Amino acid sequence: MRYEIGKRQLESGLGVTVVECAHTLADADWLEHHPEARAQDLMQAFADPSIAGIVSTIGGDDSIRILPYLELDVIRRNPKIFLGFSDTTISHFACLKAGLTSFYGPSIMAGFGENGGPFAYMMDAIRAIMCRTEPAGVIPENEGGWTYERLNWGDPSLQSQPRRLQPHLGWRWQGKGVHRGRLLGGCVEVLDWLRGTPVWPAADEWRDSILFLELSEESPTPTAFKRYLRALGATGALHGARAILFGRPYGEASTFDAYDAILQSVCAELSLGDLPLVTRMDFGHTEPMCILPYGVEAEVDCDARQIRLVEAAVS
């Protein structure tokens, strides 16, 4: 049900026609034993010239299993929009390795399938970043409130009920000056799985990046978050960053200070205490979410408190 609603709301919201890949609606137990089928779907979607873009159905924790079956040459020869978040970080890094800009943003079920219809903030971001050939400019804060409320996707009576919004708290800024770099990042837990795989970026690819990080709905403890960051730091990824953007953690606002403090402390451990940080941002496992395009040049202006996309994401 949730998939069908998300599909319908995507089609009506953007004026597109959604087609399923061969195994999109296959039995979940069967797919568990056939990761190659999911990879085949992705490769066929890229190779099919009639398909203009690919949207992930949902996240999860399984995409690492499709890596051995992906063909980067197929992605490289058939550039097109690819959209998703969370576990889809795996596929984004495959696209990045193939030289393709992809988009960290909503999936069919989480985003487009939103109760009461997709949030305007998210749809405006898609139109500004993915549907125009000019630089999108400023990424606005979502001042209309945010939510992490869980409503049962299996209850049809709840689909028309908008989720309760929490008051806008504002992004939190640390640092001075204007800093430019190319967007790179994803879900912190999934980045931890990716270390050492063939699609992990080389050291020079992390250099001069605007690194964006966010946590899944499983809400790892601050201690676990510290360990993830230290491991990421050991790869050199944090030292290459010009700034770090951190998505609003899933859950109560009372937990945000702890995560911010861990990010600050690990940066200090790595002698990166002056690195600009923008936290509690509207991307990742929060609703509504903005869109972040991989590899696109962005500008973090700490003085004006603005983040700008200074390069077009599509051509």
**192-229 pLDDT, tens per residue?**
999 999 999 999 999 999 999 999 999 999 999 999 99
Identify residue 57 by its one-letter amino acid code.
T
Report whether the peptide linkage leading into residue 156 is cis, meaning its omega lies within 30 degrees of zero: no
d(CA 245, CA 284): 11
pLDDT at res. 300: 98
**212 beta partners:** 185, 245
Segment 143-166 mean pLDDT: 93
pLDDT digits (tens, 9 = 90+) for 228-245: 999 999 999 999 999 999
Answer for the pair 190, 104: CB distance below 8 angstroms, yes or no. Answer: no
Structure tokens at 62: 């399984």
Report domain extents, the chain.
2-135, 163-309
Structure tokens at 314: 């599509």
Residue 1 reports pLDDT greater than 90: no
Provide the 3-class DSSP secondary structure of residue 75.
helix
pLDDT digits (tens, 9 = 90+) for 51-66: 999 999 999 988 999 9
Segment 114-121 mean pLDDT: 96
HSE at residue 92, side-chain half, CA atoms within 13 A, is: 26
Segment 16-39 mean pLDDT: 94
d(CA 137, CA 129): 9
Dihedral sign of CA atoms 20, 25, 29, 30 in order: negative
Structure tokens at 130: 């993915």
Answer for the pair 40, 58: CB distance below 8 angstroms, yes or no. Answer: no
Segment 124-148 mean pLDDT: 97
**292 beta partners:** 104
Pairing mode, strands 306-309 and 297-301: antiparallel
Residue 138: pLDDT band (50, 70, 90) is very high
Provide the 3-class DSSP secondary structure of residue 111.
strand
Q: Supply angle C-alpha 145, 294, 85, rounded to 5.
A: 50
d(CA 244, CA 109): 28
Residue 154 reports pLDDT greater than 90: no
pLDDT at res. 252: 94
Answer for the pair 249, 255: CB distance below 8 angstroms, yes or no. Answer: yes
Provide the 3-class DSSP secondary structure of residue 163.
coil
Q: In what order do the strands lie in the sheet with 241-247?
A: 137-138, 306-309, 297-301, 178-187, 209-214, 241-247, 277-281, 172-174
Is residue 27 exposed (0-12), middle (13-18) or buried (19+ Cβ within 10 Å)?
exposed
Q: Name 304's Cβ contacts closer than 8 Å, sequence gap at least 6.
A: none
- What percentage of the chain reaches a pLDDT higher than 90? 97
Pairing mode, strands 172-174 and 53-55: unpaired
**111 beta partners:** 107
Residue 3 reports pLDDT greater than 90: yes
pLDDT at res. 128: 97
The CATH number of the structural domain formed by 163-309 is 3.50.30.60
pLDDT digits (tens, 9 = 90+) for 246-262: 999 999 999 999 999 99
Mean pLDDT of the chain: 96
Residue 281: pLDDT band (50, 70, 90) is very high
pLDDT at res. 156: 87
Q: Of all helices (H) and strands (E), which one includes residue 64? A: none
Pick the CATH number of 2-135 from 3.40.50.720, 3.40.47.10, 3.40.50.620, 3.40.50.10740: 3.40.50.10740
Nearest to 276 by CA among 243, 252, 309, 307: 243
d(CA 42, CA 46): 6
Residue 172: pLDDT band (50, 70, 90) is very high
d(CA 136, CA 128): 6
